[in-house]
């Protein structure tokens, strides 16, 4: 049994509500309010539901009664006849990845102003866990936001079939999504690197199932040659600090002088590992991260990175989900290259 109130005597006496078995008071219902105000329950429902349609005095009386009794609607009970729970779900791959801080905040705030509460779940970078999370959350919510889902198109389409779905940084036919346009930031980064004499760069790639990873690599593949630069993909084991550290061997083998990473975590991991082995950044190696998470500016040198407006992304996803904005009209958020100190002139050969 969970912890219950310390002493229920006083409370019970004061507000005259039948106590439940747990010792906590039973909730006040519209029936209580109705009796207190001398009207019928349905009138109470109306007065509280949509404050427009009745005599102002009556409405006022009911509101007073409700306030006096401390009435609060029971979301579950309301959800049954209406089918709407006023709850939205957000599923991210990894709680501890700082990218999601601002995204979650943006989503939660947008949901809040829309009168909805957020339920959060984590998919731990695995398709199966993601599927479980979706199944657990789905019956509870009016709609679902999946951030960078790892499920395949088919699975996502199946989900979209019976629950409103918005994807972040993933595009699937006939499913609403909110994406960032990585081209601006990426080309700015490439220009910056080229101006510093880097002719050959490496892309530290992200999860194979990640759509946005493929997207980033694709744009690089388009834009680098256009600038007369070579670009190679360098695999990482996971999109974390450890993944970045592990990649150093392959980075050195590749012989590139500059890198763009799938995310800041990988970039920072590599940065630190490089320094640990005596390399100078940016003297020997220039590194560009992605996202501009908390921590990117804390390293020495500060991490040059491509900033993604995460908060705006989370907010936009909710807006699309609740229909406040048409997915068609929603235009991709722009990315921006943030120059710090982890990038500099290429070492002389």
Partner DNA sequence: TTGTATGCGTTATCAT
Partner DNA sequence: ATGATAACGCATACAA
Indicate whether 73 belongs to the interface with DNA (CB under 7 A): yes
Phi-psi region at 337: left, alpha or beta (left = phi > 0; alpha = psi -120 to 50): beta
- When binding is defined by CB under 8 A, the residue of 41, 98, 127, 197 that contacts a second copy is 98
Indicate whether 278 belongs to the interface with a second copy (CB under 8 A): no
Indicate whether 58 belongs to the interface with DNA (CB under 7 A): yes
Indicate whether 292 belongs to the interface with a second copy (CB under 8 A): no
Indicate whether 99 belongs to the interface with a second copy (CB under 8 A): no
Cβ pair 265, 246 in contact under 8 A: no
Select from DNA, a second copy, none the partner in contact with residue 131, using the beta carbon and a kind-dependent cut-off of 5 to 8 Å: a second copy
Which DSSP letter does residue 25 get? B
Q: Which of positions 114-143 make contact with a second copy (CB under 8 A)?
A: 117-122, 131, 135-140, 142-143
Interaction mask 111-150, DNA, x per CB under 7 A: ----------------------------------------
Instruction: Kindly tell me the sign of the dihedral angle through the C-alpha atoms of 250, 188, 349, 303.
Output: negative
| Residue of 266, 310, 256, 251 whose CA lies nearest to 110 | 310
Distances (CA, A) of 73 to 2, 65, 80, 130: 24, 14, 13, 32
Min. distance of Cβ 229 from a second copy in angstroms? 29
Indicate whether 78 belongs to the interface with DNA (CB under 7 A): yes
| Residue of 158, 146, 170, 150 whose CA lies nearest to 89 | 146
Distances (CA, A) of 310 to 101, 103, 213, 313, 318: 8, 5, 16, 5, 13
Phi and psi (nearest 5°) for 12? -65, -40
* Residue 153 to residue 163: CA distance in whole angstroms: 15
Select from a second copy, DNA, none the partner in contact with residue 31, using the beta carbon and a kind-dependent cut-off of 5 to 8 Å: DNA
Select from a second copy, DNA, none the partner in contact with residue 81, using the beta carbon and a kind-dependent cut-off of 5 to 8 Å: DNA
Indicate whether 71 belongs to the interface with DNA (CB under 7 A): yes
Interaction mask 170-209, DNA, x per CB under 7 A: ----------------------------------------
**Which span sits near DNA by CB under 7 A: 38-46, 180-188, 194-202, 325-333?**
38-46
Indicate whether 55 belongs to the interface with DNA (CB under 7 A): yes
Select from a second copy, DNA, none the partner in contact with residue 58, using the beta carbon and a kind-dependent cut-off of 5 to 8 Å: DNA
| Nearer CB in complex with a second copy: 190/310 | 310
Indicate whether 163 belongs to the interface with a second copy (CB under 8 A): yes
Indicate whether 81 belongs to the interface with DNA (CB under 7 A): yes
Select from DNA, a second copy, none the partner in contact with residue 322, using the beta carbon and a kind-dependent cut-off of 5 to 8 Å: a second copy
Min. distance of Cβ 141 from DNA in angstroms? 15
Q: Would you give the distance in Å from CA 129 to the centre of its chain?
A: 17
| Residue of 159, 116, 126 whose CA lies nearest to 323 | 116
**What are the residue ranges of helices labelled H in the chain?**
8-15, 30-37, 41-49, 56-69, 75-82, 99-113, 127-137, 153-162, 183-195, 211-226, 241-246, 248-254, 264-276, 310-321
| Nearer CB in complex with DNA: 80/253 | 80
Q: Which two tokens stand for residue 67?
A: 């306030």
**Which span sits near DNA by CB under 7 A: 72-80, 224-232, 247-255, 326-334?**
72-80
Cβ pair 222, 187 in contact under 8 A: no
Select from a second copy, DNA, none the partner in contact with residue 154, using the beta carbon and a kind-dependent cut-off of 5 to 8 Å: a second copy
The residues that touch DNA, with contacts defined as CB under 7 A, are: 26-27, 29-31, 38-43, 45-46, 48-49, 53-55, 58-59, 71-74, 77-78, 80-82
């Amino acid at each position: 049994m969970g912890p219950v109130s310390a002493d229920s005597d006083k409370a019970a006496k004061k507000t005259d509500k039948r106590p439940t078995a747990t010792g906590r008071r039973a909730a006040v219902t519209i029936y209580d309010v109705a009796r207190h105000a001398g009207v019928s329950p349905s009138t109470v429902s109306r007065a509280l539901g949509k404050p427009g349609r009745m005599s102002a005095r009556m409405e006022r009386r009911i509101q007073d009664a409700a306030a006096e009794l401390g009435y609060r609607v029971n979301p579950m009970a309301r959800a049954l006849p209406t089918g709407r729970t006023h709850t939205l779900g957000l599923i991210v791959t990894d709680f501890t990845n700082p990218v999601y801080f601002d995204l979650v905040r943006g989503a939660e705030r947008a949901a809040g102003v829309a009168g909805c509460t957020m339920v959060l779940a984590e998919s731990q970078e695995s398709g199966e866990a993601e599927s479980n999370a979706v199944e657990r959350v789905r019956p509870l919510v009016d709609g679902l936001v999946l951030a960078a889902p790892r499920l395949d198109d088919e699975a996502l389409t199946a989900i979209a079939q019976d629950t409103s779905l918005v994807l972040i940084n993933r595009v699937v036919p006939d499913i609403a999504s909110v994406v960032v346009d990585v081209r601006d930031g990426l080309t700015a980064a490439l220009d910056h690197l080229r101006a510093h004499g880097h002719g050959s760069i490496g892309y530290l790639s992200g999860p194979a199932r990640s759509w946005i990873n493929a997207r980033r690599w694709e744009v690089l593949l388009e834009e680098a040659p256009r600038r007369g630069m070579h670009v190679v993909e360098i695999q990482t084991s996971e999109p974390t600090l450890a993944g970045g550290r592990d990649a150093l061997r392959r980075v050195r083998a590749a012989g590139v002088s500059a890198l763009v990473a799938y995310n800041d975590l990988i970039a920072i991991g590599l940065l630190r590992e490089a320094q640990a082995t005596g390399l100078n950044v940016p003297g020997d190696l220039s590194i560009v991260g992605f996202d501009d998470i908390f921590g990117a500016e804390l390293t020495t040198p500060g991490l040059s990175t491509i900033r993604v407006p995460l908060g705006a992304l989370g907010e936009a996803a909710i807006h699309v989900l609740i229909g406040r904005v048409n997915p068609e009209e929603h235009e991709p958020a722009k990315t921006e290259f943030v120059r710090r100190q982890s990038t500099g002139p290429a070492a002389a050969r």
